[in-house]
Amino acid sequence: MEIKDKVVVITGAAQGLGKNFAMDLAKRKARLALADINVELLEEVRKACEQAGTETRAYELNVAEEKAVEDFFNQVVQDFGTVDGLINNAGITRDGLIARSKDGEIRKMSLANWQAVIDVNLTGSFLCGREFFVKLLEQKKPGVCINISSLSRSGNMGQSNYTATKAGVAEMTVTWAKEMARHGIRVAAIAPGYINTEMTSAIREDVKQKIIDQIPLKRMGEPNEISHSVFYILENDYFTGRVIECDGGFRI
């Protein structure tokens, strides 16, 4: 798929990888529908993309709410006339060990922290993917869905909840690719490693250093290195049902 002039939806576009995908796709002249729960930050990203010379609209969206996601995709098609791509990127962390004992005190991951991550990362990806496909089927046209998984899908300390969602997202990608191929729709995923974003800046310094020491390239990745994988998936018409692992060679 040629990127120029295509309508691409990016969820979680107010910061982190989503923001960088937006800025990098704006430079390639994609038309952008940006969604996030944080509308103030999102508006800044929208303006920056527009300054790069491409049509960009911002939408307030909680990806975990079914009706909101349905309304959002209806609105995007009304505003742009069509939709061609989705980057299913919205995601949160609520890190903590499943159970731990320190200084005589036992702590455990709360059900609320488990559920919050499942709702946004897994259910949100399901809902957005589903509504995107519905729009493509209605319009009888091809398209590309990119799910954002993570290196944590293989089991990362402190991320029971996040790992479960990112493994789910990776395998859902294969299912969707098989189901949607007959309609000319491709579905692929990216599993980024530790990338310099707001999400990783929250990791305690001593833990972060332990992590970096294990990365063969001895550094965290940059967001534009993940945008490169986005371009690859969008542009390569023979790529579907697979996960690109872009992680500096780090295997958890």
Cα dist from 209 to 24, 213, 214, whole Å: 29, 6, 9
Q: What minimum distance in Å lies between the beta carbon of 89 and ligand CAA? A: 11
Q: Which DSSP category does 248 fall into?
A: T
Tell me which residues touch ligand CAA (CB under 6 A).
Answer: 93, 95-97, 100, 150-152, 156-159, 162, 192, 194, 199-200, 203-204, 207, 210-211
Q: What minimum distance in Å lies between the beta carbon of 147 and ligand CAA? A: 13
Q: What minimum distance in Å lies between the beta carbon of 142 and ligand CAA? A: 29
Task: Decide whether 56 or 150 has the Cβ nearer to ligand CAA.
Answer: 150
Q: Which residue is listed with tokens 């509308």? A: 39
Length of the chain: 252
Q: Is 59 a catalytic residue?
A: no
Residue 237 burial by Cβ neighbours in a 10 Å radius (0-12, 13-18, 19+): exposed
Residue nearest to ligand CAA (CB): 158
Rounded Cα distance between 167 and 252, Å, is 13
Task: Decide whether 31 or 153 has the Cβ nearer to ligand CAA.
Answer: 153
Q: Which DSSP category does 217 fall into?
A: T
Task: Decide whether 40 or 213 has the Cβ nearer to ligand CAA.
Answer: 213
Query: What positions carry a catalytic annotation?
Result: 162
